[in-house]
């Protein structure tokens, strides 16, 4: 059954669910209720503790994987947690555990998964139908591991490319994000009316729209920073994409670690309780982000109480889950947190579990989708390869350099030419992603895709140091960023961000940004050196940029005969060859403005542009064709 079928199966079914919730809630103790609201990380809790503390959910942080990180290892882990949660006795009620992961571009944690382009590349496709298909494939590969919940889609409207999470945003344009929002939710959760093509067990997973709200609008793109905006602008730019997602029945929403006008979203009662729940009608539950309550108050129990009273229902408290449980219980007993708020939170959590059919599903290893043979299958990879093709944006093509002749003598080089890890970026096998090819099983690098088409292509790791136009007709130079995630991808000066601006970074990541400029020639000077050396010797260069965002690439562009923005294409690098050799023409269009210079200001609205206030080289929507 699809994840929202029970919610949409009609009033009779919905009222049956509400009756079951009421009956169960009436039997629950305060400990059992608070347990349902608690989400530890797998490395910090055992199945026995899940039962002893009545835990409602467990998650894997990025890269936190069981055993040999194969689907069977995940199924076994989830089965153990589920079994513990269902062992009813005089102290424990059988309420199925909900396991959550960041399957944000395919089930990225797991070896051998189909890895789709990150959202910035999907935004370049302008293809909502394909977005829904991607959601459906992703759901299948999540269910194959016994997992029911993904912390996706990200509905951020990234307004400044200096943000380390720009690649998780479909676009700087809220309208494009909104156009995808309902489709990705339907793809992940299964058809809204529950009569979709999926059979029980192969249906949907629970989706999670994130991060509520304004995560992509912070000053200078600082991760977890402060979004300074009037409410009208917050609604127009950052809340707008949530409306179609809510209409599509998204079951959960994750709160942002950022602030709005200096107030942490995790403590923002108006945004959560009044706007998201009351005004916009979320019927599912709200989950905090990773340690999101920590900065709210010196006293952890007080911080927990603030967040619960603000309207958050479930708490991602990876290591401090015991303190959370004890602190919240104390604040309930003191009357600081009303029992009505606890009951509302638990009602919402139970509603999602019933809506997703968790009470009706068999144990993880007995489910039809578990260890599904479609995991990482050729069929799934073809969907990802189509997305790669459609995501590529052609920014320059002098003298018809592209498409390439498959019989040409092609030199392929550059740091990211044969690096499936770089293609995938962050949230792939590891939180920060991986470099190289070993950890990304299945799939193809850019070089492997070219090699399969062009018998006279040659890969060089030395940048083609002695290559001559006598030996090569053209060079394909694949450059760009190494993998990163979240604050580690920010572009700003290293070190603590001005506390006065309420940019209170959490954890070590926010302190070591990727670099202090968007100028690629400063971040990775070897890239422009390679391009200039080859073009300077008379070999025309097709430059392919693998990056999580637009970068300032003026010298690289100038020295290239053709230039392709490939974003973070994921595991199916062969999709580039499909277009470079002309089987398919370029169709991608920029999902965001391309800056001509390094943004200097804090305010993304300066200059009327959205590239962090910088002047624009290519506008949103730009993209060339070869024919
Ligand atoms: C991270 C991210 C969030 C992710 C969560 C679990 O800090 O902000 O997007 O879903 O933690 O990994």
**Which CATH number do you get for residue 20?**
3.20.20.300
The pLDDT assigned to 501 comes to 39
Q: Is the minimum distance from the CB of 430 to ligand 1 under 6 angstroms?
A: no
What is the extent of the structural domain holding 514? 392-618
Does 235 lie in the same domain as 160?
yes
Q: Are the CB atoms for 560 and 531 separated by under 8 Å?
A: yes
- Please indicate, yes or no, if residue 386 is contained in any of the structural domains: no
Provide the CATH number for the domain around residue 580. 3.40.50.1700
Which of 348, 366, 384 is at the close of a domain?
366
Q: Are the CB atoms for 574 and 420 separated by under 8 Å?
A: no
Does 555 lie in the same domain as 462?
yes
CA pseudo-torsion sign 607, 610, 615, 616: negative
Nearest atom within ligand 1 for CA of residue 60: 12
Nearest atom within ligand 1 for CA of residue 100: 6
Of all protein residues, whose CA lies closest to atom 1 belonging to ligand 1?
A: 290
CA of 416 to the centre of ligand 1 (A): 26
Which of 48, 33, 102, 46 has the alpha carbon at shortest distance from 431? 102
- Please indicate, yes or no, if residue 268 is contained in any of the structural domains: yes
Probe target for ligand 1 pocket from 289, 294, 487, with the most ligand atoms within 8 Å of CB: 289
DSSP annotation of 64 reads -
Helix (H, G, I), strand (E, B), or coil: what is residue 20?
helix
Does 421 lie in the same domain as 315?
no
Q: Is the peptide bond before 564 cis (omega within 30 degrees of 0)?
A: no
Does 512 lie in the same domain as 464?
yes
- Please indicate, yes or no, if residue 586 is contained in any of the structural domains: yes
Does 399 lie in the same domain as 355?
no
Structure tokens at 128: 């909502």
Q: Is the minimum distance from the CB of 289 to ligand 1 under 6 angstroms?
A: yes
Burial label for 330, CB within 10 Å (0-12, 13-18, 19+), is: middle
Residue 527 appears among annotated catalytic residues = no
- Please indicate, yes or no, if residue 387 is contained in any of the structural domains: no
Q: Is the minimum distance from the CB of 102 to ligand 1 under 6 angstroms?
A: yes
Q: Active site residue: 132, 182, 198, 289, which one?
A: 289
Q: Is the minimum distance from the CB of 63 to ligand 1 under 6 angstroms?
A: no
Does 283 lie in the same domain as 328?
yes
- Please indicate, yes or no, if residue 143 is contained in any of the structural domains: yes
Residues 6+ apart with CB under 8 A from 343: 25, 33
Q: Which residues of the chain fall below pLDDT 50?
A: 1, 5-8, 193-202, 499-506, 509-510, 607
Backbone angles phi, psi at 617, to 5 degrees: -90, -50
Q: Is the minimum distance from the CB of 578 to ligand 1 under 6 angstroms?
A: no
CA of 98 to the centre of ligand 1 (A): 16
Nearest atom within ligand 1 for CA of residue 291: 7
Structure tokens at 290: 């990773």
Does 258 lie in the same domain as 169?
yes
Q: Is the minimum distance from the CB of 285 to ligand 1 under 6 angstroms?
A: no
Does 323 lie in the same domain as 436?
no
The pLDDT assigned to 288 comes to 98
410-413 and 458-459 as β-strands: parallel, antiparallel, unpaired? parallel
CA of 554 to the centre of ligand 1 (A): 34
Q: Is the minimum distance from the CB of 431 to ligand 1 under 6 angstroms?
A: no
CA of 167 to the centre of ligand 1 (A): 14
Largest CA distance in the chain: 82
One DSSP character per residue, 174-227 reads HHHHHHHHHHHHHHHH--TTS-SSPPTTSS--B-EEEEETTGGG-GGG-TT-EE
Probe target for ligand 1 pocket from 151, 166, 255, 432, with the most ligand atoms within 8 Å of CB: 151
Alpha carbon 446 to chain centroid, angstroms: 23
Helix (H, G, I), strand (E, B), or coil: what is residue 144?
coil
pTM value is 0.95
DSSP annotation of 417 reads T
CA of 211 to the centre of ligand 1 (A): 9
Nearest atom within ligand 1 for CA of residue 62: 12
CA of 102 to the centre of ligand 1 (A): 7
Of all protein residues, whose CA lies closest to atom 12 belonging to ligand 1?
A: 61
Q: Are the CB atoms for 39 and 315 separated by under 8 Å?
A: yes
Q: Is the minimum distance from the CB of 210 to ligand 1 under 6 angstroms?
A: yes
Q: Active site residue: 182, 198, 313, 486, which one?
A: 486
Alpha carbon 126 to chain centroid, angstroms: 18
Q: What is the Rg, in whole angstroms, of the alpha carbon atoms belonging to the chain?
A: 24
Residues 6+ apart with CB under 8 A from 305: 327, 328, 331, 336, 337
Does 400 lie in the same domain as 275?
no
Q: Is the minimum distance from the CB of 294 to ligand 1 under 6 angstroms?
A: no
Q: Are the CB atoms for 211 and 153 separated by under 8 Å?
A: no
Of all protein residues, whose CA lies closest to atom 3 belonging to ligand 1?
A: 289
Which of 322, 351, 366 is at the close of a domain?
366
Residue with tokens 């489709």: 183
The pLDDT assigned to 200 comes to 29
Of all protein residues, whose CA lies closest to atom 8 belonging to ligand 1?
A: 289
Q: How far, in Å, CA of 47 to CA of 53, rounded?
A: 10
- Please indicate, yes or no, if residue 384 is contained in any of the structural domains: no
- Please indicate, yes or no, if residue 371 is contained in any of the structural domains: no
Probe target for ligand 1 pocket from 206, 290, 428, 506, with the most ligand atoms within 8 Å of CB: 290
Q: How far, in Å, CA of 478 to CA of 568, rounded?
A: 12
Of all protein residues, whose CA lies closest to atom 6 belonging to ligand 1?
A: 61
Q: Is the minimum distance from the CB of 290 to ligand 1 under 6 angstroms?
A: yes
Structure tokens at 607: 């200059």
The number of domains in the chain is 2
Nearest atom within ligand 1 for CA of residue 257: 8
- Find the angle CA(430)-CA(434)-CA(435) to the nearest 5 degrees: 175
Nearest atom within ligand 1 for CA of residue 154: 9
Q: How far, in Å, CA of 227 to CA of 260, rounded?
A: 5
Nearest atom within ligand 1 for CA of residue 168: 9
Nearest atom within ligand 1 for CA of residue 210: 9
- Please indicate, yes or no, if residue 225 is contained in any of the structural domains: yes
Which of 2, 38, 547 has the alpha carbon at shortest distance from 251? 2
Structure tokens at 127: 């293809």
Q: Is the peptide bond before 213 cis (omega within 30 degrees of 0)?
A: yes
Q: How far, in Å, CA of 550 to CA of 121, rounded?
A: 11
The pLDDT assigned to 165 comes to 97
Q: How far, in Å, CA of 427 to CA of 104, rounded?
A: 8
Residue 486 appears among annotated catalytic residues = yes
616-618 and 594-595 as β-strands: parallel, antiparallel, unpaired? antiparallel
Which of 70, 47, 71 has the alpha carbon at shortest distance from 58? 47
Q: How far, in Å, CA of 506 to CA of 500, rounded?
A: 15
Structure tokens at 423: 């293609």
Nearest atom within ligand 1 for CA of residue 211: 9
CA of 557 to the centre of ligand 1 (A): 35
Q: How far, in Å, CA of 575 to CA of 128, rounded?
A: 19
Query: What does the CA dihedral 432, 438, 440, 443 come to, rounded to 10 degrees?
Result: 150
Q: How far, in Å, CA of 70 to CA of 568, rounded?
A: 23
Q: How far, in Å, CA of 348 to CA of 538, rounded?
A: 65
Of all protein residues, whose CA lies closest to atom 11 belonging to ligand 1?
A: 290
Of all protein residues, whose CA lies closest to atom 7 belonging to ligand 1?
A: 290
CA of 485 to the centre of ligand 1 (A): 10
Q: How far, in Å, CA of 534 to CA of 549, rounded?
A: 25
Does 453 lie in the same domain as 329?
no
User: What is the SS3 string spanning 89-121?
Assistant: CCCCCCCCCEEEECCCCCCCCCCCCCCCCCHHH
CA of 537 to the centre of ligand 1 (A): 47
Does 332 lie in the same domain as 412?
no
Backbone angles phi, psi at 572, to 5 degrees: -100, 70
Does 539 lie in the same domain as 458?
yes
Beta-sheet strands, E only, within 12-86: 38-39, 57-59
Q: Is the minimum distance from the CB of 266 to ligand 1 under 6 angstroms?
A: no
CA of 41 to the centre of ligand 1 (A): 12
């Amino acid at each position: 059954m699809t994840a929202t079928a029970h919610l949409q199966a009609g009033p009779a079914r919905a009222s049956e669910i509400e009756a079951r919730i009421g009956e169960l809630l009436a039997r629950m103790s305060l400990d059992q209720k608070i347990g349902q609201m608690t989400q530890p990380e797998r490395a910090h809790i055992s199945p026995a503790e899940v039962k002893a503390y009545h835990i409602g959910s467990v998650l894997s942080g990025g890269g936190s994987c069981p055993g040999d990180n194969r689907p069977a290892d995940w199924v076994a882990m989830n089965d153990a947690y589920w079994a513990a949660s269902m062992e009813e006795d005089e102290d424990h009620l059988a309420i199925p555990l909900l396991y959550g992961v960041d399957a944000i571009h395919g089930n990225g944690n797991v070896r051998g998964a189909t890895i789709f382009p990150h959202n910035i590349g999907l935004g370049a496709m302008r293809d909502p139908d394909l977005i829904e298909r991607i959601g459906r494939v992703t759901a299948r590969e999540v269910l194959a591991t016994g997992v029911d919940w993904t912390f996706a889609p990200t509905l951020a409207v990234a307004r400044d490319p200096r943000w380390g999470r720009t690649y998780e945003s479909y676009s700087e344009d809220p309208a494009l994000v909104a156009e995808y929002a309902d489709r990705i939710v339907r793809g992940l959760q299964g058809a809204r009316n529950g009569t979709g093509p999926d059979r029980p067990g192969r249906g949907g997973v629970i989706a999670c729209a994130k991060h509520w709200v304004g995560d992509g609008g912070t000053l200078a793109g600082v991760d977890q920073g402060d979004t300074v905006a009037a409410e009208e602008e917050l609604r127009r730019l950052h809340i707008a994409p949530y409306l179609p997602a809510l209409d599509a029945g998204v079951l959960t929403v994750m709160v942002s670690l950022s602030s709005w006008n200096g107030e942490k979203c995790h403590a923002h009662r108006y945004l959560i309780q009044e706007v998201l729940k009351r005004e916009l009608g979320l019927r599912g539950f709200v989950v905090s982000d990773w340690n999101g309550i920590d900065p709210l108050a010196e006293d952890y129990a007080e911080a927990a109480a603030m967040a619960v009273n603000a309207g958050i229902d479930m708490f991602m408290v990876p290591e401090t889950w015991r303190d959370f449980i004890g602190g919240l219980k104390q604040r309930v007993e003191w009357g600081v947190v009303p029992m009505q708020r606890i009951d509302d939170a638990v009602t919402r959590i139970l509603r999602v579990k019933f809506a997703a059919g968790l009470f009706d599903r068999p144990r993880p290893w007995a489910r039809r989708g578990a260890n599904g043979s479609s995991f990482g299958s050729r069929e799934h990879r073809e969907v990802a390869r189509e997305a790669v093709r459609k995501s590529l944006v052609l920014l320059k093509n002098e003298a018809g350099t592209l498409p390439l002749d498959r019989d040409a003598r092609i030199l392929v080089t550059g740091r990211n030419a044969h690096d499936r890890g770089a293609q995938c970026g962050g949230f792939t096998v590891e939180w920060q992603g991986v470099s190289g090819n070993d950890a990304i099983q299945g799939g193809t690098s850019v070089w492997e895709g070219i090699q399969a088409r062009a018998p006279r292509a040659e890969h060089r790791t030395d940048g083609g140091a002695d290559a001559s136009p006598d030996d090569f007709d053209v060079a394909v130079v694949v450059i760009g960023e190494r993998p990163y995630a979240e604050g580690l991808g920010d572009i700003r000066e290293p070190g603590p961000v001005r506390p006065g601006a309420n940019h209170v970074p959490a954890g070590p990541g926010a302190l070591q940004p990727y670099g202090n400029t968007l100028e690629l020639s400063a971040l990775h000077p070897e890239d422009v050196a390679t391009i200039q050396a080859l073009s300077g010797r008379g070999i025309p260069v097709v430059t392919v940029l693998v990056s999580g965002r637009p970068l300032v690439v003026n010298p690289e562009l100038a020295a290239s005969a053709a230039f392709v923005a490939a974003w973070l294409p994921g595991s199916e690098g062969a999709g580039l060859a499909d277009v470079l050799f002309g089987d398919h023409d370029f169709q991608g269009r920029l999902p965001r403005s391309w800056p001509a210079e390094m943004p200097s200001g804090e305010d993304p609205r300066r200059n009327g542009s959205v590239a962090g206030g910088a002047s624009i080289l290519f506008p949103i929507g730009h993209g060339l064709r070869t024919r």
